[in-house]
């Protein structure tokens, strides 16, 4: 069967998670995904927006990551303004007329309504948007949203009866926690997120680390990430794998004896451990890199080498590596490889 190919219709100030989570999750499952925007070409970027409710009557908005397009809109054939673009509406109608799967989230249903393809359909959307097609209310519903879309593409998932633990901290990188977290949930895995000195329902602020032409990454405030379990009460032996996001959190988590003990426990039992970006600072501090091969964000190379590991150059930056039970990546552009390599260790497979 020919590989599945999906077109992601983008625009400036689309919601950050609502673009990147399905984009990288589907790629991790083996789907080819093209991201295109009217008036832009492959290699251009769309600015994104962080939307989150903070106790007010509607969501707050701040700047998100810059989302890099990998296809040109004109060759491949934001919501309010895209719904007025006849080329966009014609594209949507062609998918609908061909009865190809369409997945739309949050405010995206404005485009579906403008294209006239929601007549007599059942769907949902962000509460302020009633005209819809196939949708989820917001990014919190991504796991079900992506799972349903995979099924609509004819996909099936096996081996997903796994329990996975995320080791979180304040100002971990925004994408590096949410993309793998929801990608694994979408497969049917049970996924918990814990943070030292915090309980279930509490939140960790995240940081948006982006590459904007400077000598190092820039930083902006990200989404608040809700924890699902208490660190002090977690039974690490009940989990099949550990994931360590990057960002700034590993700098201080590496100094926590309980964190070090948790990581050593997974490594000593040879359970899969997936760590990305600055997460390898924790692995180095735990003394579990001796004799291993791994990569990390380039600025963490010294930690990796002093920890006794053989450094694997992340060239290009989205390259990831598996060494035994250990998966390592350099930064969030590598999520598709990072997630797919962890899936392989866990025996999870998506078939179309």
pLDDT of residue 118: 76
The tens place of each residue's pLDDT in the chain, 352 residues long, gives 667 888 899 999 999 999 999 999 999 999 999 999 999 999 999 999 999 876 677 888 999 999 999 999 887 654 455 666 788 888 888 888 888 888 888 777 778 877 878 777 777 777 766 544 445 556 678 899 899 889 989 999 999 999 999 999 999 999 999 999 999 999 999 999 999 999 999 999 999 999 888 998 999 999 999 999 999 999 999 999 999 999 999 999 999 999 999 999 999 999 999 999 999 999 999 999 999 999 999 999 999 999 999 999 999 999 999 999 999 999 999 999 999 999 999 999 999 9
Spot the catalytic one: 10, 37, 46, 106.
106
The predicted structure's pLDDT at residue 97: 87
Quote the pLDDT of residue 54. 64
**Residue 288 contacts residue 322 (beta carbons within 8 Å):** no
Inter-residue contact 205 to 224 (CB < 8 Å): yes
Both 212 and 148 in one domain: the answer is: no
* Domain-terminating residue out of 154, 187, 214: 154
Asked about 46 being catalytic, the answer comes back as: no
Catalytic-role residue among 51, 209, 278, 335: 278
Q: Are residues 51 and 105 in the same domain?
A: yes
- Assess whether 320 carries a catalytic annotation: no
- Between CA 207 and CA 218 the distance in angstroms is 10
- Single out the catalytic residue among 107, 142, 209, 223: 107
Do 117 and 94 have their domain in common? yes
61 lies in the same domain as 109? yes
Do 317 and 338 fall into the same domain? Answer: yes
Tokens 């309010």 belong to 80
Q: How distant, in Å, are the alpha carbons of 30, 33, 84, 150, 342 from that of 352?
A: 9, 15, 35, 9, 19
How many other CB atoms are found less than 10 A from the CB of residue 150?
23
Same domain, 214 and 125: no
Q: Are 192 and 96 in a shared domain?
A: no
Split into its structural domains, the chain has a count of 2
Between CA 95 and CA 99 the distance in angstroms is: 6
Q: What helix, strand, coil percent values describe the chain, rounded to 5?
A: 35, 25, 40
Q: Are 154 and 127 a contacting pair, CB within 8 Å?
A: no
Listed as own residue / partner, the contacts of 109-117 with beta carbons closer than 8 Å and 24 or more positions apart are: 109/133, 109/135, 110/79, 110/80, 110/83, 111/9, 111/79, 111/82, 111/83, 113/83, 114/83, 114/84, 114/89, 115/88, 115/89, 117/92, 117/93
Report helix, strand or coil for 3: coil
Residues 150 and 178 in one domain: no
DSSP string, 273-284: EEEEGGGHHHHH
Q: Which domain holds residue 233?
A: 158-351
Is 142 considered catalytic here?
no
- 10 is a catalytic site residue: no
Asked if 88 and 227 sit in the same domain, the reply is no
Q: What is the CATH number of the domain that holds 27?
A: 3.40.50.880
pLDDT of residue 81: 53
Query: What pLDDT, on a 0 to 100 scale, did the predictor assign at position 122?
Result: 77
Pick the last residue of a domain from 125, 154, 183.
Answer: 154
Residues 146 and 162 in one domain: no
- What pLDDT, on a 0 to 100 scale, did the predictor assign at position 133? 42
Chosen domain end from 154, 177, 197:
154
Q: Hey, what are 247's tokens?
A: 């960002």
Q: Are 115 and 181 found together in one domain?
A: no
**185 and 324 share a domain?**
yes
Catalytic residue among 37, 189, 204, 277: 277
Closest CA to 125 of 111, 107, 140: 107
Cβ neighbours around 137 below 10 Å, total: 14
């Amino acid at each position: 069967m020919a590989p599945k190919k999906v077109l992601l219709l983008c625009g400036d100030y689309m919601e950050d998670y609502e673009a990147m989570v399905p984009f990288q999750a589907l790629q991790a499952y083996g789907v080819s995904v093209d991201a295109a925007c009217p008036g832009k070409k492959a290699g251009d970027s769309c600015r994104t927006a962080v939307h989150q409710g903070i106790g007010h009557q509607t969501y707050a908005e701040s700047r998100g990551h810059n989302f890099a397009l990998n296809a040109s809109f004109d060759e491949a054939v934001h919501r309010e303004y895209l719904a007025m673009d006849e080329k966009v509406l014609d594209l949507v109608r062609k998918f609908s007329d061909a009865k190809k799967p369409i997945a739309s989230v949050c405010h995206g249903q404005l485009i579906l309504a403008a294209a006239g393809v929601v007549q007599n359909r059942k769907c949902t959307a962000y509460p302020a948007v009633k005209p819809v097609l196939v949708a989820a209310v917001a990014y919190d519903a991504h796991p079900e949203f992506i799972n349903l879309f995979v099924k609509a593409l004819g996909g099936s998932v096996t081996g997903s009866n796994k329990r996975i633990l995320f080791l979180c901290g304040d100002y971990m990188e925004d994408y590096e926690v949410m993309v793998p977290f929801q990608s694994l949930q979408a497969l049917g895995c049970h996924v918990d997120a814990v943070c030292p000195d915090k309980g279930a329902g509490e939140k960790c602020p995240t940081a948006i680390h982006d590459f904007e032409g400077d000598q190092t990454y820039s930083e902006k405030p990200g989404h608040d990430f809700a924890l699902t379990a208490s660190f002090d009460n977690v039974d690490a032996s009940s989990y099949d794998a550990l994931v360590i996001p990057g960002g700034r959190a590993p700098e201080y988590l590496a100094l926590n004896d309980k964190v070090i003990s948790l990581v050593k426990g997974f490594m000593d039992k040879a359970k899969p451990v997936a760590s990305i970006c600055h997460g390898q600072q924790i692995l180095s501090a735990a003394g579990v890199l001796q004799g291993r091969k791994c990569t990390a964000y380039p600025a963490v190379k010294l930690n990796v080498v002093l920890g006794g590991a053989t450094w694997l150059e992340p060239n290009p930056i989205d390259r990831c590596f598996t060494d035994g039970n250990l998966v390592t990546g350099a930064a969030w552009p590598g999520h598709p490889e990072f997630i797919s390599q962890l899936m392989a260790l866990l025996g999870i497979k998506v078939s179309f």
